Amino acid sequence: MKGDHAPTPYPNASRQQNDSSNGHFSIKNFFKALRNASNAFKLVWEASKQNALFNFGLTPVAALMPAAQAWVGKLIIDKILGVVNANLGWQAGMREVLPVVLLELGLVLIGAVVNQARVFLNRMLSLQLTTHVNTLIIQKAISLDLQFFEDPVFYDMLQNARRQSDSAALSIVTASMQIAQQTITLVSLVALLVRFSPLLALIVFVAAIPSFLAETQFAEISYRMIYRRAPEMRLLSYLEMLLTGNETFKEIKLFGLGEPLLKRFRTLFIRFFNEDMTVARKRALAGLGWGVLSSLVYYGSYVWVIYRTIIKAVTLGDMTMFLSIFRQSQNSISSLLSSFNSIYENNLYLDNLLAYLKITPVLSSPIEGLPAPAPIKEGIEFRNVSFKYPGSDVFVLKDINLTIAPGESIALVGLNGAGKTTLVKLLTRLYDPTEGAIFLDGRDLREFDLTSLHQRFGVIFQDYARYQFSVRENIGFGQIDEAENLDKVREAAERGGADKLVEELPEGYETILGRRWEKGLELSGGQWQKIALARAFMRNAEVLILDEPTSALDAEAEYEIYKRFRELMHGRIAVLISHRFSTVRMADRIVVLSEGRILEVGSHSELMRRGGPYAHLFNLQAEGYR
């Protein structure tokens, strides 16, 4: 909406701060971040119970495979050595060894099937979870009040909620299952490894810890860097939209804005790239350093085991099993710690989504809200109404007292910033007054069910929406439950003056509008405005509010609309905002606003006789036509 400037509102209850993003990594912050793990499982469970159950069920099967394969590998080596030492023939030897080999083959096949099944399930879960999370984000957005969408802080929050939230939830669940799997695997391997050498078991575990701490530290740094970028990332997206959108292309082209804006885009992108590269470089060097240390530990232990085998302290089968277990144990511990790190990092991202989903609307319906009256019998009353936007100390409206009778049409007149559009926001209960109250048939608006109240208003704003859908949908959206009723859509089009326009379109009411889709047809500004007017007339509203409804229409089209205006609004309240005095003079009464206060009220003829502010503005505009 244009006209009044709205300072950024933000209710204290919704200023969710991500405390996990403050400061550096610590054990306290690590365990604090884990609080969201249960929420991640809940999101995955809600996305697909069946896939989640299958995935959980396959985890212990996959976990026991490494130890089972290592043990069978030992049996194969020992069987072969036994056959060789006993000088058995090849047939007898194969009878001894082949069953164990087939057992290993069976384990390998089971492992392959389980792994592929889990990969498939994870892909399905990823798609289902993305849909579920996006649905939650959209549901929350449509439940919130207008004031959130006039606030950049809210958009930062929305940006952070969208970023990686779905993948973060799945990663937490996947990492949690990985932890369960690797724990089971590790316990089974360590049981074998401790039997061989308790010291080596300890070395394997300790060697992986420094790498885990380094990775967690860099995960924290990366997260904090992305979190603080939210406003600039929105700017990056906005610049991209300006440079590629059809609505801005003409000015971008004619004013030569392409290269300057592209330069800003590149500058911001390069700065982000350099920051990311710095962190990535440090992370890679740390990973390389700890990886080298891990390899040294492994091969040092390898040499020691070889020595033990040479002096016949252990059998060749034991050595083979140990090497398999040692390598797998090291991988399991590394994977285990990496999974903890993944949970920590992704909990930070998931925290953004959870904080966003905790936002609650400021405006709400009472528990047993009254249905809004239809028809309106007593009218509307503004009683000592004052208003300032959240976060501002400046009153946009002050001490407004105004009554509107049933069936009366009024026009709001004043310079930009006078408070006209804000008054409409209060009337439609997109905001509540800071002081005073607004009454409908003698009851405070806050006593009515909000959905029922909104149904009583038909509104067309100056910055009306241009839906890139069919004409029928563009008009039918005015009363969504009647959008499929073509007769009603046609009637609304006729009332809004769009019927002749639709008749000339290639597919009539099924013509797709806008250039977003391949067969879309773009309309002129005036044609779009007729469609928007028809949308407002689609609803059998008790109050019709028109904010600059004919600004894009030519004089003849405007005349045709207002010639039928009184007839169309018979028995209903009409509120009209316009800068054209040829339009506002048709209203029963005219309300003149200035700096949030009512200066005078009366019919056109009454106000002209008074020679006050209205007469002055009217004469100034009339002078321009002489």
Model pLDDT, residue 361? 84
Residue 437, beta-bridge partner list: 383
Q: Is the pLDDT confidence value at 508 over 80?
A: yes
What percent of the chain is modeled with pLDDT above 90? Answer: 15
- Average pLDDT on 509-514 reads 90
What pLDDT does 486 receive? 92
Phi-psi region of 559 (alpha: psi -120 to 50; beta: other; left: phi over 0): alpha
Instruction: Choose the weakest-confidence range: 107-116, 140-149, 162-171.
Output: 162-171
d(CA 579, CA 416): 10
Task: Give me the sign of the Cα torsion angle 89, 90, 93, 95.
Answer: negative
State residue 18's pLDDT score: 43
Distance of CA 398 to the CA centre of its chain: 36
Write down the domain spans for the chain.
Answer: 34-357, 369-456+543-626, 465-540
What pLDDT does 472 receive?
A: 92
DSSP state of 20: G
Report the relative pairing of strands 397-404 and 380-387 from DSSP bridges.
antiparallel
Structure confidence by residue, pLDDT tens digits, 377-423:
999 999 999 999 887 888 999 999 999 999 898 999 987 778 888 99
Residue 377 burial (10 A CB sphere; 0-12, 13-18, 19+): exposed
What's the average model confidence in pLDDT over 485-510? 89
Does residue 9 surpass a pLDDT of 70? Answer: no
Q: What is the mean pLDDT of residues 461-481?
A: 85
- CATH code of 465-540, in short, is 3.40.50.300
- Listed in sequence order, the residues at least 6 apart from 58 whose beta carbon sits closer than 8 Å to its beta carbon are 114, 117, 118, 121
DSSP state, residue 512: B
Q: From 458, 581, 462, 459, select the one nearest 528 (Cα to Cα).
A: 462
CATH label, 369-456+543-626, candidates 3.40.50.300, 1.10.10.200, 3.90.25.10, 3.90.550.10? 3.40.50.300
363-367, 383-387, 441-445: least confident range: 363-367
H/E run at residue 214: helix 198-228
Within 8 A by CB and 6+ apart from 200, the residues are 193, 301, 304, 326
> By the 8 A CB rule, do 146 and 425 touch?
yes
Give tens-digit pLDDT for 88-112.
766 777 787 788 888 888 888 888 8
**pLDDT value of residue 53:** 82
The rounded mean pLDDT for the chain is 77
Q: Tell me the C-alpha distance between 501 and 509, whole Å.
A: 10
User: What are the backbone dihedrals phi and psi of residue 144, each rounded to the nearest 5 degrees, phi first?
Assistant: -90, 170
- Range list of β-strands (E), 405-559: 409-413, 435-440, 443-444, 457-460, 543-547
Examine the pLDDT at 329 and tell me if it is beyond 60: yes
DSSP per position, 113-182? HHHHHHHHHHHHHHHHHHHHHHHHHHHHHHHS-GGGGG-HHHHHHHHHHHTTHHHHHHHHHHHHHHHHHH
Query: Do residues 153 and 10 lie in contact, with contact meaning Cβ atoms separated by under 8 Å?
Result: yes
Nearest to 346 by CA among 211, 164, 121, 134: 164
Tokens of 67: 């130890």
Confidence of residue 17 (pLDDT cuts 50, 70, 90): very low
Spatial separation of the C-alpha atoms in residues 491 and 502, rounded to whole Å: 12
Domain 34-357: which CATH number of 1.25.40.10, 1.20.1560.10, 1.10.630.10, 3.40.50.300: 1.20.1560.10
* N-terminal to C-terminal alpha carbon distance within the chain: 32
Order of strands, sheet of 573-577, starting from the edge strand that comes earlier in the sequence: 457-460, 543-547, 573-577, 409-413, 589-594, 597-602
**Same CATH fold, 465-540 and 369-456+543-626?**
yes
Tell me the mean pLDDT in the region 189-197: 69
Residues 6 or more apart in contact with residue 496 via CB below 8 angstroms: 475, 530, 531, 532, 533, 534, 535, 536, 537, 561
Q: Which residue has the higher pLDDT, 269 or 625?
A: 269
Mean pLDDT of 139-143: 84
Q: How far apart are CA 418 and CA 346, in angstroms?
A: 48
Q: According to the model, what pLDDT value does residue 204 have?
A: 63
Lowest mean pLDDT among 6-15, 71-80, 189-198, 459-468: 6-15
126 within 8 A of 170, measured Cβ to Cβ:
yes
Determine the average pLDDT of the residues in 3-28. 44
Residue keyed to tokens 């912050």: 29
Neighbours of 42 (CB within 10 A): 13
